[in-house]
Chain A
C-alpha cells in the first residue's frame, strides 16, 4: 500500500488520501468544510474528540479520554470493550493550526504525530503526518487503518456540521 489511497469517491465528498512518503513517514490528508478553529477544537476537547474518534463499525468506543493540551501536557485514550490504552505527550500546541504529540504506549517504536490545519476559503486541509523511529517500526504498525480512516473522518464531518451550526448561531 505504498501508493496514495482514496476513500469515499464522489464529487461532493472530501476524500481521504494516505501515502507512505518515505521509509519512516506516513502522511494522510483530508479536507473539512469548516474553519480551522472548529476542526482544531474537535481535536483538542475531550468531550468532542470522544464523539467522533472511534470508527463505529469497529465495535469500539472511547471509554475515557483525557487531554492536557499544552506543551509537555499528557493525553490518554482508553477504549472499550477491550480496554486498550494509548498515551503520550504534546510536544507542540499552536491553536488553531498545529499539534504535535508522541505515542508512548508502544515503547520506542511509537511515531511522532504532527497534525496541521490549513484554512483556505472557509475550508480546512488537515495533514496528518506520522514519523516513525525506523522503517521496521512503520512496517510493523501496518496500514490496516486505511479502511477505517474514511469512516472516522466521516464521523468528524457529522460533528463539524453540528459545531458549525452552533458557532454560526452565536
Chain B
C-alpha cells in the first residue's frame, strides 16, 4: 500500500524530470504545437524551425523520451506525431499548487473580512 504509493510517487518524479525538461525549451514547445496541428517529418520540422537536421533530431529525441512525441520511420522518412503523454499528472501537480494558493487567498479573505468588521465597529464606537 505505502509501497505501491511510493512506487507511484517515484515514477511520477522521474517522469516529471523528463517532461518538464522537455517543455523547458521554446523550440520543443513549438514542435508540440506544430504536431498538434498535423504530423510532420523531422525534415519538415527542421525547416520550419530553421535548424539543422541533427539539431531537430536531438529535440525530437528529448520529446520522445518524455512520451510527448512518437516517431515512426517509413522508408527514409521519420514521421513525428504527438505521443500518449497528455501531461495529466503534470496538470494535476500544477492544479495542486494552484489549490494551495487558492486556499491561502481564501484565508486572506477571511482575515480581511474580520479586519473590515473590526474597523466598522471601532468607527461606530468613536463616533458616539
Contact = CB atoms under 8 A, between A and B. Distances in A.
A144 B92 contact: no
Looking at chain B, what size class is its interface with the partner chain? 20 to 34
Residue of A26, A59, A143, A152 most packed against chain B (CB within 10 A)? A59
B13 interface: yes
Residue of B8, B10, B86, B95 most packed against chain A (CB within 10 A)? B8
**What does DSSP make chain A's interface, helix, strand, loop or mixed?**
mixed
A145 B86 contact: no
B2 A106 contact: no
Given A58-B12, A81-B86, A148-B9, A128 B92 contact: no
A87 to B, nearest CB: 10
A59 B94 CA distance: 10
Nearest to B94: A59
B103 interface: no
Given A57-B95, A59-B88, A60-B8, A103 B3 contact: yes
A58 B6 CA distance: 12
A160 interface: no
A59 to B, nearest CB: 3
Contacts of A59: 88-93
Given A128-B1, A130-B1, A143 B6 contact: yes
Contacts of A147: 9
A57 B8 contact: no
A82 B6 contact: no
Given A57-B96, A60-B89, A149 B7 contact: no
Contacts of A144: 5-6, 9-10, 13
Interface stretch (A34-42, A90-98, A107-115): A107-115
A161 interface: no
27 contacts: A26-B3, A55-B5, A57-B95, A58-B8, A58-B9, A59-B90, A59-B92, A60-B8, A81-B84, A81-B88, A81-B89, A82-B15, A82-B89, A86-B4, A103-B3, A103-B4, A113-B3, A128-B1, A130-B1, A141-B6, A141-B7, A142-B9, A143-B6, A144-B9, A145-B5, A148-B5, A149-B5
